Chains A and B, each alone.
Chain A
Amino acid sequence: MNVTGESVDAIRELINIGVGRAAGLLNDMTGTHIRLEVPEVRVLRYTDLPREDRLVDGSRLSAVTLMFRGPFSGMSMLLFPDKSAAVLIAALTGEKIEEGDLDALRIETLNEVGNIVNNAVMGSITNVLGERLVYSMPEFREGSITDIMGESRSGAYDWVILAVSQFTIEDLWVVGNILMIFEIGALDRLLEKIGAVTGTSP
């Protein structure tokens, strides 16, 4: 797979912009400063995804996923270690929540948080690229990273772009990851668009 450093750099900046907006919205909701880290963007085989250290940190994860299709397809997700999701909801709603006690209403609340973050990230990408995509509704999933990705793989492809952006909700000590997986079939189209916008060639 030949992806130039410039393309990866461009993808990272697009994601950065989305994460920055998401942080602004999360800050509004939690009233807490969100510390951001430099996002990591890597090209890797789909089958190697579950072995990514940053993803498997914690056997039980909670995620709000958003699938997208169109000129490029893939999945964006907000990913928390198990306990963090409950801490976050407790902070957002002012409830006292036992660890792991997520009922329909609380899951929906977490869905909204994921919706805000995912939409911000996707919005920034589609904005810059001027593309229209079709999205699924946000979906809450729990389990290992393999459980969460589930049958999301839509095509016969080997390579994906993995973008991980870690953030910390400072007062709550909640660490989350924004994770994007672009299918490789879509990757050429994405890089093409980036090239067109930035004047670089993929």
Chain B
Amino acid sequence: MNAVSSFTQCGNLDILPAGVIVIRPDYTVVCWNRTIEEWTGIPRVDAVGRDLREIFPYLEEKRYALRIQQVFEGGPAALFSTQFHPHFIPAPLPGGGSRFQRTTVHPLSEGGETYAFIFIDDVTELVVQVRAYREMRDRALREIDERKQKEAALEESEAWFREIFDSVNDAIHIHELREDGLPGRFIDVNAVASRMLGYGREELLVMTPLDLVCGEHSRPLEQIGREILETGQAIFETEHRKKGGDSVPVEIHAHRATIRENDVVVSIVRDISQRRRSEEALAAANRKLNLLSTITRHDILNQVMALKIIADLLEMERDPAVMAGYIEKMRFVTDTIEEQVNFTRDYQEIGVRDATWQNIAETVRKVTEGLSHPGVGIVTATGDIEVFADPLFEKVIYNLLDNALRYGGPSLSGIRVSLATEGDRLLIAVEDDGAGIPAADKKNLFQRGFGKHSGLGLFLSREILAITGMAIRETGEPGRGARFEILVPAGKFRGNSVPGVTRE
């Protein structure tokens, strides 16, 4: 038949780049094209006319036979995929290995005969590409996976960091670093920074640290900037102004860092108000200790020397009247020594204990209870104000009230404790309507040794007040009453009823 002979010659099929085998329903090969010849090494003349199952016995298996049968029965083309049937027929590659194939079997009716047209594509190149693609994809997936894990870890560490950032006791400022080493805008601040300064985080993020500074730096700012640029860090002190106007002394540990590729400074800012106060108190205490160990010792030695001289004189004296005079002198000197020893005892207590916040009205009330003041009214008009003072502050008040009662004289009828302001300082006035301080005494009023009869004396009162920065002066008019004024610096008093001062 024509059709068969045209297959047998396979002429047209030879030009196809694919392998083509045509079989009859009994599997007799009628065409075997050149590509198949090349792949299998079996020449056409040896294949045509033979049963294909003789050449490739595995085609008898159900997975091939059933499906090829369906094609002969007029069913759709059968597809044999590369993954299931990588090598439909054996076709070694010149360099080793086998060609990967994709095979379709099509029904073909010609001249009343039915044929199966086996079309075999070489997909080796495709397989190589897909495998390369899969490898690439797997690697990409692995990398994405790794990146995701890293990101998750980073997120976790950021949350962790944020928690630490907000839960430390010190303020943390992160701000830009200018080329001259000076600070630029804030990049981030923690919750403590907001609390310390009274500004919200958003408010701070449009400011720079320099907007906050209200005091001197412990070193020139330019020098601090150079240190940060050169050594990567600087530790210094300054004062920051709060939103409400108060200032807070701070110690700053500044460290240069790189965050998200930006040159920044991470500063740990510590509120050192408490430490400042303690330091000041310590300095005062030291000053007093020095006073004790120099002046006092010298004074006592002077008195002891006087005693020795009197004793020598007494030894040589026989006149009872003169002797009585020496003995009287000796008593006086020993009294003086006793006072000086008492002084050192009292003085020792100053600055030993930490300063505390003390309510003025409360203090006056306590002191008044311990004093006998018949016929003298004591008025307290100090509201609910507290001062930061040495625990001996109570003794100062005692001393002032005791002085008024002791030296007020017959005209004394009342003592008044009241408040006023002077600049940003609080003024505590203790005044009476007694005799007042004679002009001649005013000069030595706060010298050591003045006013021997009164408890601690005004000298010690002044020293006690000085521990927390307070000063004392006397402004009364002689003959019309004494007036002692205690001046309390800003930051050392608090309360909501300070006259003339609007406070939060």
Contact = CB atoms under 8 A, between A and B. Distances in A.
Direct contact of A and B (CB under 8 A): yes
Interface of A: 25, 28-29, 66, 68, 92-93, 98, 101, 103-106, 108-109, 111-112, 115-116, 118-120, 122-123, 126-127, 132-133, 135-138
Contacts of A137: 77, 79, 104
B80 A112 contact: yes
Nearest to A96: B138
A34 B438 CA distance: 121
Given A116-B67, A137-B104, A109 B81 contact: yes
Contacts of B134: 103
A111 B77 contact: no
A74 to B, nearest CB: 13
Interface in B250-271: none
Contacts of A119: 67, 70, 75-76, 78
Contacts of A120: 70
B130 A105 contact: yes
Interface string B88-131: 00000000000000101000000000000000000000110010
A109 B84 contact: yes
Interface of B: 62-63, 66-67, 70, 73-84, 102, 104, 126-127, 130, 133-134, 137, 141
A112 B86 CA distance: 13
Contacts of B63: 25, 28-29
A126 B126 CA distance: 36
B70 A108 contact: no
A162 B81 CA distance: 29
A113 to B, nearest CB: 9
Contact of A109 (B75, B83, B104, B127): B83
Contact of B73 (A28, A112, A115, A127): A127
A115 B76 contact: yes
A108 B102 contact: yes
Contacts of B126: 104-105
B79 A118 contact: no
A68 B76 CA distance: 9
Contact of A25 (B66, B75, B127): B66
Contacts of B130: 103-105
Contact of B84 (A92, A132, A138): A92
Contacts of A98: 141
A141 B104 CA distance: 19
Given A28-B62, A28-B63, A112 B77 contact: no
B239 to A, nearest CB: 62
A62 to B, nearest CB: 15
B82 A108 contact: yes
A111 B84 CA distance: 11
Nearest to B70: A123
Across the A-B interface, give the 5 residue pairs with the lowest CB-CB distance, nearest first: A135-B76, A112-B81, A123-B75, A115-B79, A108-B81
B79 A111 contact: yes
Nearest to A24: B66
A25 B70 CA distance: 13
A135 B105 CA distance: 13
A47 to B, nearest CB: 28
Given A25-B67, A105-B83, A123-B70, 4 more contacts: A28-B62, A111-B79, A115-B79, A126-B74
B78 A115 contact: yes
Nearest to A103: B130
Contact of A111 (B75, B81, B133): B81
A106 B137 CA distance: 14
Contacts of B75: 119, 122-123, 126, 135
A25 B84 CA distance: 14
A66 B102 CA distance: 19
Contacts of B66: 25
- Of A101, A103, A136, chain B has the most CB atoms within 10 Å of the CB of A103
A22 to B, nearest CB: 11
Given A25-B66, A115-B78, A116-B67, A105 B127 contact: yes
A106 B83 contact: yes
Given A105-B130, A116-B67, A93 B83 contact: yes
22 contacts: A25-B66, A29-B63, A66-B76, A105-B81, A105-B82, A105-B126, A106-B83, A108-B81, A109-B82, A109-B84, A111-B81, A112-B79, A115-B76, A115-B79, A119-B75, A126-B73, A126-B75, A127-B73, A133-B74, A135-B75, A135-B77, A138-B76
